Amino acid sequence: MAEGVQVTDTIAIPRSELVYRASRSGGAGGQHVNTSSTRIELLWSFQESAALSDVEKSRIRAKLGARLDADGLLRVVAGNRRSQLQNRVAAEDRLAELVRGALHVPIKRKRTKPTKSSKEARLSDKKRRSTIKGNRRRGADYD
């Protein structure tokens, strides 16, 4: 395994900051599920992370506040795979995806003005429709 969980090109979470807990998975699966601890719970204290700046930490706190526990730890659970290693990789991938999404800054929309020709076309169309409807109102001659 690599040294850290790669979030973006510039941000990697060191594995030393991650805490893994293994427990038994619930649900169907037969005898294997009842005997092996394959479910992985991944905890990360992003507040104390050296991989993030203060601005990035505040963005994560704002975007992922609902996913934080009472101690301020970001918690990710993976238990749908058969082996502990697969669930560990899945939990790391899910953590990277969550953090990547939280750090994404949307591009602000630039307001644009309608062009002069589009304004003129709209107004001329309005005048044409107005003339058509006006002719109906005044009782145009129907031969």
Token digits of residue 105:
């800054």
pLDDT (0 to 100) of residue 121: 97
pLDDT (0 to 100) of residue 112: 94
The domain locations on the chain are: 4-103
Q: Is the dihedral of CA 79, 85, 90, 95 positive or negative?
A: positive
Q: Hey, is 108 helix, strand or coil?
A: coil
pLDDT (0 to 100) of residue 51: 85
* CA distances in angstroms from 15 to 3, 28, 93, listed in the order given: 6, 31, 13
Find, among 94, 90, 76, 78, the residue nearest to 37 by Cα.
78
Q: What is the CATH number of domain 4-103?
A: 3.30.160.20
pLDDT in tens, the chain (143 residues): 457 888 888 888 888 888 888 888 776 666 666 677 888 899 998 888 888 889 988 998 898 888 888 888 889 998 888 788 999 999 999 999 999 899 888 899 999 999 999 999 999 999 999 999 988 887 655 55
E strand or H helix at 9: none
Say if pTM beats, i.e. exceeds, 0.75: no
Strands (E), 2-143: 4-6, 12-14, 18-23, 39-44, 74-78
pLDDT (0 to 100) of residue 33: 63
